[in-house]
Amino acid sequence: MVVGLLATPIMIQNGQSLVNLVAAQQALLVERLSCLLAPLHPVLRADVTRALQGEGKLLYQAPASAESSQPPPLAGMWALATFLIAHYVAPDIDPIFAGNVAIAVECFVCATDLLDDVTDGDQTTTLLALGPARALNVSTALLVLAHQAILSTPQQGIDPRLILRLLDTFEEAALAAVSGQHRDILSEQQSIRACTREECLDIAAAKAGSIMRLTFRLGGICAGADDALCQQLSESGEMLGIAHQLDNDAHDLYHLLQAHNNSALSTESVKSDLERGKKTLPIVLAARDDQTLQRFSELTDEEKKEHLQAFQEAIMTTWGICLLYRERVRERFQALEARKPVTLALRMLLGLA
Amino acid sequence: MEEQQLQDFVHRIAESEDLRKELAGNAALVVSREGFSPRLVNVVMRLVPHLAMEKPLGPSLGWWWGY
């Protein structure tokens, strides 16, 4: 069995490009973000801006000369998801209000990504530029800014009870994500034999799932969705977040296998995961014993070959479970479609078009 | 549980050359006798080219970024 992971480029659907479809919304979100950052001290604002220029963040600009088989990430996809969901629920929603809520999500996701990078020791462009101390301070600033983005909405005549509900939802998700991260860190000290598939999925739900759940739920709440719709959106978000995490984990290990045959490929983050004892789903599924995983880079070629089959099977299973979660999300969105059509931009953004 | 069904199926395919050949020859028949739910059938059918035919594809998943 040779592992190859599917690319599903959905750049064009019905002659429409998502980049063009969401250009106006992106511009509005950038404007809301600029208002939020304006009062910051210039030196802090510069570093916060740098963080928000990271890959996929709202201020991200793809390098003009990028040569890749994969399209560059869409700038501000998390904030766009919240904004487009709000628009789906209430097409006449005040765009400034929805924009502020979406910006809160953008700041929160950027803050948690920075914390993850520092915790995991990942050498991202942002972390290399800022260093861990400034990155942690920027993360703190972004968490405060996320609250400020929501709290600034009373200026737009929004019911204070709705503001409180948004903040309550926000804090609930933040605590869930932090708990997930804590469990993930502690699992590094745990024997691989003590880890189960369910536990891995549970941690993925707490980490990535809770953040995507928040992204979807805030869009629904700010647009006045009823409880049943909020629940549908929340569950869809959580499942998509889990799928996203499994996608990353399968993809990371896939690159390690690629590197086995091609030393030019970078595998530092995966090696780091293995050496730290990180318990991602494919690693747990492929596990034979702790030492094999933590000393993978020290194994002889023959020993590595012996374990590659187990890794390939684990990647395929993880990829299949990822697809299974996406199928579940697709079914939820089909149910939403029965209420009213989901916009093309939202379906394309979520990979459901 | 669908996750367990999927894991068991992938393992059996990985372990059996005969099953891989059968899957390559008539995937619908092999999958239909497993008693999978419709959504699990969708998933497994997408995995078939990799499970049965050892078909390497692109290195990227890209569904969230695949706009």
Instruction: Count the residues in chain B.
Output: 67
Residue from the list A8, A320, A331 with its beta carbon closest to the beta carbon of B6? A320
What phi and psi, each to the nearest 5 degrees, are found at residue B41? -60, -45
Within 8 A by CB and 6+ apart from A42, the residues are none
Residue A157 has a pLDDT of 82
Cα A113 from Cα A107, distance rounded (Å)? 10
Asked if residue B47 is part of any domain, the answer here is yes
Residue A192 has a pLDDT of 81
Residue from the list A8, A77, A327 with its beta carbon closest to the beta carbon of B62? A8
Interface test with B, best of A16, A236, A313, A330 (most B CBs within 10 A): A313
Give the residue among B67, B61, B2, B28 at the shortest CA–CA distance from A62.
Answer: B67
Q: Which residue in chain A has the smallest CA separation from B37? A: A324
pLDDT: which is higher, A270 or A231:
A231
Q: Which residues in chain A (197-256) have CB-CB distances under 8 A to chain B?
A: 197, 201, 243-244, 247, 250-251, 254-255
* Nearest chain A CA: its distance from B21 CA (Å): 12
Residues of A in contact with B13 (CB under 8 A): 1
Mean pLDDT of chain A: 85
Query: From the CA atom positions of chain A, what is the Rg in Å?
Result: 21
Cα A83 from Cα A48, distance rounded (Å)? 22
* Nearest chain B CA: its distance from A6 CA (Å): 5
pLDDT band at A64; cut points 50, 70, 90: confident
Cα A306 from Cα A4, distance rounded (Å)? 19
Residues of B in contact with A201 (CB under 8 A): 3
What is the biggest distance separating any 2 CA atoms in chain A, rounded to whole angstroms? 68
What phi and psi, each to the nearest 5 degrees, are found at residue A16? -105, 140
Pairing of the two strands A16-17 and A12-13: antiparallel
Our CA dihedral for B37, B41, B43, B44, rounded to 10 degrees, sits at 130
> Residues A140-155: what's their mean pLDDT?
91
Asked if residue B44 is part of any domain, the answer here is yes
Residue A309 Cα to chain centre, angstroms = 29
pLDDT tens sequence across A78-112? 999 999 999 999 999 999 999 999 999 999 999 99
Interface test with B, best of A57, A244, A260, A316 (most B CBs within 10 A): A316
pLDDT band at A10; cut points 50, 70, 90: very low
What is the biggest distance separating any 2 CA atoms in chain B, rounded to whole angstroms? 39
Exposure of A269 in the CB half-sphere (CA atoms within 13 A): 19
A18–B contact, CB cutoff 8 A: yes
Within 8 A by CB and 6+ apart from B45, the residues are B27, B28, B31
Q: Note whether B64 contacts A247, CB cutoff 8 Å.
A: yes
> Residues A189-207: what's their mean pLDDT?
88
Q: Note whether B51 contacts A316, CB cutoff 8 Å.
A: yes
pLDDT band at A172; cut points 50, 70, 90: very high
Q: Two tokens at A119?
A: 């915790």
Domain span holding position B21? 2-52
Asked if residue B21 is part of any domain, the answer here is yes
| Start-end of H helices in chain A | 18-21, 23-37, 42-51, 77-89, 95-120, 125-151, 160-187, 197-204, 210-222, 227-261, 268-276, 281-286, 290-294, 301-339, 344-349
pLDDT band at A331; cut points 50, 70, 90: very high
Residues of A in contact with B55 (CB under 8 A): 2, 4
The total domain count for chain B is 1
Residue A193 has a pLDDT of 79
What's A101-138 look like in SS3?
HHHHHHHHHHHHHHHHHHHHCCCCHHHHHHHHHHHHHH
pLDDT band at A215; cut points 50, 70, 90: very high
**Helical axes A42-51 vs A125-151, angle rounded to 10°:** 110
Which residue type occupies A30? V
Q: Two tokens at B49?
A: 């080219």
Residue from the list B50, B51, B57 with its beta carbon closest to the beta carbon of A7? B57
Residues of B in contact with A254 (CB under 8 A): 59
Percent of chain A with pLDDT over 70: 84
* Nearest chain A CA: its distance from B36 CA (Å): 12
Residue A168 has a pLDDT of 96
Can you tell me which residue has the tokens 């309550």? A168
Residue A142 has a pLDDT of 98
Residue B60 has a pLDDT of 46
pLDDT band at A254; cut points 50, 70, 90: confident
Q: Which residue in chain A has the smallest CA separation from B45? A: A320
Asked if residue B57 is part of any domain, the answer here is no
For B34, counting Cβ atoms within 10 Å of its Cβ (0-12 exposed, 13-18 middle, 19+ buried), the class is middle
Cα A26 from Cα A29, distance rounded (Å)? 5
Residue B17 has a pLDDT of 87
Strands annotated E in chain B: none
> Residues A49-75: what's their mean pLDDT?
82
Cα A218 from Cα A101, distance rounded (Å)? 7
Residue A264 has a pLDDT of 44
**Across A20-24, A45-49, A278-282, B61-65, least confident range:** B61-65
The verdict on pTM exceeding 0.95 is: no
Give the residue among A150, A125, A130 at the shortest CA–CA distance from A48.
Answer: A130
Asked if residue B24 is part of any domain, the answer here is yes
Residue A15 has a pLDDT of 56
Residue A250 has a pLDDT of 86
pLDDT: which is higher, A132 or A294:
A132
Asked if residue B66 is part of any domain, the answer here is no
Residues of B in contact with A9 (CB under 8 A): 62, 66
Is ipTM > 0.85 here? yes
Name residue A17's beta-bridge partners.
A12
Within 8 A by CB and 6+ apart from B19, the residues are B12, B13, B30
pLDDT band at A138; cut points 50, 70, 90: very high
Q: pLDDT tens digits, chain B, 67 residues: what are they?
A: 899 999 999 999 988 889 988 988 999 999 999 999 999 999 999 888 888 766 554 444 554 443 3
Residue A265 has a pLDDT of 42
